[in-house]
Structure 1
Amino acid sequence: MKKSLLAAALLSAFAMSAHAQSSVTLYGLIDTGLVYTNNQFGHSNWQLNSSSTQNTVFGLKGSEDLGGGLHTIFKLEQGFLLNNGAQAFSGLGFGSQAWVGLQSDPYGTLTFGRQFDVMNDLVGPLTAEFNTWGGSIAAHPFENDNLAANSVVINNSVKYASPTWYGVTFETMYSFSNKAGDFANNRSYGFAVSYSQGPLNLAAGYLQFNNAGTGSGAVTTSDTSANFLAERQRVWSLGGNYTYGPATVGLVWSHSQIDNVAGVYSFGTGTYLGANDDSAGSLAGSLRLDNFEANVKYALTPAWSVSGAYTYTHGAYNGSSPGWNTAMLQTDYAISKRTDFYLEGVYQNVHGAPEGSVLSHAMLNTLSPSSTDTQVAVTVGMRHAF
């Protein structure tokens, strides 16, 4: 009898220990709102929209303690559109993220699968468009620098993230084309570094795509991850912010070089503008874009905040010099730790673009383009995290 009780106690203790060493968590975030736009394809529009500020997702994440400071980790995440239940990344079971890897406390983390790029990881959080207090709708024109929250997801990728040493973190990644005999076609690679110490945060990064959108490589058209169809896209970015009491102020610069661009993709339209839409005008040649963003967030109370951002984007395209002014203003109120409501307005104007080209149409991220050089959108929304 005593032996049986001892065996049961040992078995129970072992089960509890095993449970403590591994975990799986179901999580998610829902963002929905009513959006008024003054011009979409020449008409004003009221619409129920999803993911105006943050991707609407659910997922599973977990870890297993292997001992000696080593862990197995994974994440499987799917984005969806709340208004109709559709997948945000069409045809993919876990389109937002799908990766597995090893995390070492002293040596860093190595992960494999479909992941966000390293520049988005480290530089993105310094921008308004990455955060809930600005969000996807306030992204830089055409989301040309991939700094908005997790809009481009990269296939076939291997990513390394260092531990934090004296406030410094480094990440690098390489994404394979997975095509025999065409190793360099539709591949991606990049690196980024950040520094965080007290109220100061700094980050810089580089990202490159080769022939994005073709085949089943790093970034494809089939899942809407490709923002540009181009021979090559290179992005440099640099930013910082400083927190003083309830206020955080940030500055971010990014430069995008897009060679032999064939088209621009808008998540809101579901079609390729320029490549397949004659009404928008076709693109050819190379496009250069410099984005200069200033942003601020101020906490009026622990529950109530106001935020704003302004971005001037200077372009160069076939002898023309288009320019974009994008401004955002938001107020947000949290009624609990997991639920908040927001009111946000975003304005964009473009000037100097070739007449009739896709560049001459204002187009806020996640929305269909305007028929003119100006677009204004106002959103009343709700977010819930679980």
Structure 2
Amino acid sequence: MFKLVPAALLLPCLSAYAQSSVTLYGIVDVGINYLNNAQTARTATGFRGGKQWSVMDGGTGGIQGSRWGLKGSEDLGGGLKTIFVLESGFNANNGTMAQGGALFGRQAWVGMSSNYGKVTVGRQYDEVVDFYAPLLAAPQWGGYMVEHPSDLDNASNTRRINNSMKYTSPTMAGFTFAGLYSLGGVAGSFGTNRVWSVGAGYTNGPLSIGAGYLNAHNPNTSFYGTNPNAGPATSNNLGGLGSVTSPESNPVYAGYASANSLQIAAIAAAYALGSTTFGVAYSNTRFQDLGSLSGPNPLRYSGTAYFHNIEANAKWQVTPTFLLGAAFDYTKGIAPTGQHDGAKYELASLGADYFLSKRTDIYALAVYEHASGTDSFNQPAVAAITGMTPSTTTNQVAVRLGIRHKF
């Protein structure tokens, strides 16, 4: 039964709704990828593989992962607002959900903002992603294939932080800082599965600097096991050796799943000279106290394994609608003491991006990687471009032609 309500009584409600906003947004990024060498199986005599052509979503082989999301705010008065983001990733090549099948696997958080900063709670990015990553080649023009081997420093936000609380300061004289803490949620053990991260950024005219630090206890589950399809602590959520019928997964650092803690420290800087921007970056990724009960340890590692990563990049805005990019990345792996000599990865990348409109662009990427030494599986390292199936040899080439539309 419906009742008529005097219009005057509706005015407060209409005023409240007028102070709120919700925006639907998204990206669809899909393209054709060519890989000159991809493993198909592993036998007693070595790897088998061949060339590969595929249609891939941007989240594994392009500039950006396809997504749709809702973001909104409500003005509470006095500069105070309620804010939220719900963001879902999907694979445009086949329509399936990304991030292991999570409904809002990219981001899901709610919080409050004011003139003193903002506090948010939910599934969020860490501060390495917030401050260090934006100055790298991958998020600017190169995407996942251009990222550091297996995204070892999480600069392409492969992993999100569940159950996290974050504070982000307002920007003051070009300076911003933030901190994140994730509760492990394990009864009787406050430190188990906890994650924390801090970061800061500074921008002044043509100069930009960003730095971040992340510390994850029991990373095999707290960091690498946060998607719905991840296994328990006894599973290697970082990757696997494969079998006679399947290729390897993440030979760069999957052998270090038994680490008691993961630590990532990273810093990057960029400087713009006219239409050209140059950038440099360094990160140190450490898998500490190997041999703990955090994950499987079939190779019986102990001690600490870590990676030095150095990137140099440049982008040239040739015209308002045409961009060129180039980058070189060097990674040196240091194996646990007395185990093996570690691996080296050298990555060279080129990219071109042409905007047909403000919302649609077409692009081309070419990536070459060379590997040497001994990888985390204690075997001769093979090239493994991020997002691609590892090669059977020390070299690998990947090429992509893609289209991206934003709405």
TM-score bracket for the superposition, by shorter chain length: 0.7 to 0.9
1:139-167 deviation digits (Å, cap 9, x = unpaired):
1112111112x321110100000001111
Instruction: Give the Cα separation in 1 of the matches to 2:179 and 2:20.
Output: 27
CA displacement at 1:209 relative to structure 2: 1.2
1:29 aligned residue? 27
Residues 84/310 of structure 1: CA separation in 2 closer, same or farther (3 Å cut): same
Give the letter for the 1:19 counterpart: Y
Instruction: Give the Cα separation in 1 of the matches to 2:33 and 2:341.
Output: 33
CA displacement at 1:130 relative to structure 2: 2.3
1:66 has 2:76 as partner: yes
CA displacement at 1:66 relative to structure 2: 0.5
CA displacement at 1:110 relative to structure 2: 0.4
CA displacement at 1:287 relative to structure 2: 2.0
Instruction: Give the Cα separation in 1 of the matches to 2:209 and 2:131.
Output: 9
1:325 has 2:346 as partner: yes
Residues 239/365 of structure 1: CA separation in 2 closer, same or farther (3 Å cut): same
Conserved 8 A contact 2:342-2:376: no
CA displacement at 1:363 relative to structure 2: 1.0
1:220 aligned residue? 225
CA displacement at 1:190 relative to structure 2: 1.1
Instruction: Give the Cα separation in 2 of the matches to 1:17 and 1:26.
Output: 22
CA displacement at 1:119 relative to structure 2: 1.5
1:183 has 2:196 as partner: no
1:121 has 2:130 as partner: yes
CA displacement at 1:91 relative to structure 2: 3.4
Residues 366/352 of structure 1: CA separation in 2 closer, same or farther (3 Å cut): same
Residues 356/112 of structure 1: CA separation in 2 closer, same or farther (3 Å cut): closer
Conserved 8 A contact 2:176-2:201: yes
CA displacement at 1:85 relative to structure 2: 1.1
Q: SS state of the match for residue 147, structure 1?
A: coil
5 Å matches for 1:1-386? 8=7, 14=12, 17-41=15-39, 42-51=49-58, 52-105=62-115, 107-131=116-140, 133-148=141-156, 150-214=157-221, 217=222, 219-220=224-225, 222-223=227-228, 227=238, 229=257, 230-260=259-289, 284-285=301-302, 286-317=304-335, 318-353=339-374, 357=378, 360-386=381-407
Residues 206/356 of structure 1: CA separation in 2 closer, same or farther (3 Å cut): closer
1:334-355 deviation digits (Å, cap 9, x = unpaired):
0000000001001111112259
Instruction: Give percent identity, aligned residues only.
Output: 40
CA displacement at 1:55 relative to structure 2: 1.5
1:38-58 deviation digits (Å, cap 9, x = unpaired):
111021100000022211111
Conserved 8 A contact 2:210-2:268: yes
Conserved 8 A contact 1:123-1:238: yes
Give the letter for the 2:316 counterpart: Y
Give the letter for the 1:291 counterpart: N
Instruction: Give the Cα separation in 2 of the matches to 1:301 and 1:202.
Output: 25
Aligned residues: CA RMSD: 2.4
Instruction: Give the Cα separation in 1 of the matches to 2:189 and 2:205.
Output: 46
1:4 aligned residue? none
Conserved 8 A contact 1:189-1:208: yes
What TM-score comes out, normalization by structure 2 length?
0.83
CA displacement at 1:283 relative to structure 2: 7.7
Return 5+ residue gaps in structure 1 as ranges.
1-6, 263-271, 277-281
CA displacement at 1:357 relative to structure 2: 3.6
Instruction: Give the Cα separation in 2 of the matches to 1:35 and 1:283.
Output: 37
Instruction: Give the Cα separation in 1 of the matches to 2:405 and 2:215.
Output: 34
Instruction: Give the Cα separation in 2 of the matches to 1:43 and 1:248.
Output: 37
Residues 367/261 of structure 1: CA separation in 2 closer, same or farther (3 Å cut): farther
CA displacement at 1:359 relative to structure 2: 6.9
Residues 174/220 of structure 1: CA separation in 2 closer, same or farther (3 Å cut): same
CA displacement at 1:364 relative to structure 2: 1.2
178-187 vs 42-51, greater mean Cα deviation: 178-187
Residues 219/22 of structure 1: CA separation in 2 closer, same or farther (3 Å cut): farther
333-342 vs 173-182, greater mean Cα deviation: 173-182
Conserved 8 A contact 2:101-2:229: no
Conserved 8 A contact 1:175-1:218: no
CA displacement at 1:14 relative to structure 2: 4.9
Give the letter for the 1:34 counterpart: I
Give the letter for the 1:93 counterpart: L
Q: SS state of the match for residue 130, structure 1?
A: helix
CA displacement at 1:93 relative to structure 2: 1.4
Q: SS state of the match for residue 374, structure 2?
A: coil
Residues 138/261 of structure 1: CA separation in 2 closer, same or farther (3 Å cut): farther
Instruction: Give the Cα separation in 2 of the matches to 1:221 and 1:153.
Output: 7
1:268 aligned residue? none
Instruction: Give the Cα separation in 2 of the matches to 1:347 and 1:383.
Output: 23
What TM-score comes out, normalization by structure 1 length?
0.87
